[in-house]
Chain A
């Protein structure tokens, strides 16, 4: 596989969200790889170790995003993981990864609300990829 470009794996069960992320990530100059389920995501991670992972919080099960992050971090601690979710929009609950305590528990590097502007997304990705 061509590794000139940074590979970003996006895992979400909504194919339209995946399609939209593909457009945005391509326009940032990265190579998007898409997975529609936790299982497919795990397979792709093992197949092609991505440079960054964006995972939806609630897929088949309500907490599969968290468990998924834990598994990725156990295997590839150096690969940055972004949790993307519409939790705040849907429940009004706010949580982030701002304190050391949160990060110790939730094995992700960044938490982002779905529907953020492309430039914000790009900035967060660049930060995590140290570009």
Chain B
């Protein structure tokens, strides 16, 4: 039997002991699970006490009353979210129908049980939260094993595609209704922004095409080719973009580095790194691209004199659809996919990506690819 720790946060002793009684001999089973779950109760009468327990212990499920004598339940919830604490939270409250709202915001990440509840209601809620917890941990395990969770990806993707559509539609409606008058010049900014959003969508679609090249089982075309040539072509492609911001690209590339790679994959890596170094640079800045042959590995280095990142921002960098949002990046469009694609590709080559960055000084991306076994399909 597997045991889940349940933290009950309620100021009414009757509720706490009631829950303890109901769950003491209750177990949850699930066809996919090897073992049944049973519950061990920990009690807290205030939110402050709950936070203390959360800080010092790993609990799995938190039953949380909102109306507490000190800080409110929702503040405890905020603390849990901020801490990215691995537990499922279920609110206990005397008010009904938070359910839908909460589901809408959090995709069922936490649940809700109305007070007063019958033993049956509590058990049903515990059953669903236990299954959810189990599935979530399973999903995480599968993710760590490198399996794709397509559903989540698609739901984020649809959001990323809908936002520009909404924005463009909004501008078109303003123009259609001539909301700022008859003068066409007053609409120029809206037209420019609409174009910008369309460009963003185009970029996203291009990145998605890159992603489809990384499908498991996909045929790859590994050949001994000269990587320095690919790097030079990518630098040339980025020149026009760099000229617009008066950025100089310096190139230090060893000649004729023959290495078993897939041409398209290497293009994607170089294009993403160099275009980022230009996009997130300052006007009149510099980009340094270097490519070295270390016999047993090759080292790609792309360094810029741009806006840089904090350590916190670096930690999120390679996640899908994560874009670093701050004042400095607000006018730069991007899909949030580029670096996650680069990371995936480097993984395929058993390589490493290293990032170092200083805010307002610039960022440095280093990639090391070892000479590896030649496989002509993507790893599962």
Give CA–CA (A23, B95) in the complex, Å.
38
User: Which residues in chain B, 126-172, are within 8 Å of chain A measured between CB atoms?
Assistant: 158-159, 162-163, 166-167, 169-171
Pick the residue among A67, A95, A114 that contacts B101 (CB under 8 A): A95
- Is there contact, CB below 8 Å, between A86 and B162? yes
Q: In this assembly, does A93 line the interface, its C-beta being within 8 Å of a C-beta of chain B? A: yes
- Is there contact, CB below 8 Å, between A17 and B166? yes
Q: In this assembly, does A43 line the interface, its C-beta being within 8 Å of a C-beta of chain B? A: no
Interface of B is mostly: helix
Stretch from B34-42, B50-58, B104-112, B210-218 forming part of the interface with A: B104-112
Q: In this assembly, does B251 line the interface, its C-beta being within 8 Å of a C-beta of chain A? A: no
Mark contacts of A14-29 with chain B using CB atoms, 8 A cut-off: 1 yes-contact digit, 0 otherwise: 1111011001100100
Give CA–CA (A86, B103) in the complex, Å.
14
Give CA–CA (A93, B98) in the complex, Å.
13
Q: In this assembly, does A128 line the interface, its C-beta being within 8 Å of a C-beta of chain B? A: no
Total number of A-B contacts with CB less than 8 angstroms?
84
Mark contacts of B71-99 with chain A using CB atoms, 8 A cut-off: 1 yes-contact digit, 0 otherwise: 00010001001000000000001011110
Q: Which of A20, A37, A58 has the most CB of B within 10 A?
A: A20
Given contacts A14-B163, A105-B95, A114-B166, are A67 and B78 in contact (CB under 8 A)? yes
User: Which residues in chain B, 195-251, are within 8 Å of chain A measured between CB atoms?
Assistant: 197
- Is there contact, CB below 8 Å, between A94 and B100? yes
Pick the residue among B98, B162, B166 that contacts A105 (CB under 8 A): B98
- Is there contact, CB below 8 Å, between A70 and B74? yes
Give CA–CA (A89, B325) in the complex, Å.
25
List chain B positions with a Cβ less than 8 A from chain A. Answer: 66, 74, 78, 81, 93, 95-98, 100-101, 103-107, 158-159, 162-163, 166-167, 169-171, 174, 177, 179-180, 189-190, 193, 197, 325, 330
**Chain A residue nearest to B105 in the complex (CB):** A63
Q: In this assembly, does A77 line the interface, its C-beta being within 8 Å of a C-beta of chain B? A: no
Q: In this assembly, does A42 line the interface, its C-beta being within 8 Å of a C-beta of chain B? A: no
Given contacts A115-B166, A118-B179, are A101 and B103 in contact (CB under 8 A)? no
Chain B residues whose C-beta falls within 8 Å of the C-beta of A101 in the assembled complex: 95-98
Q: Which of A66, A70, A99 has the most CB of B within 10 A?
A: A66
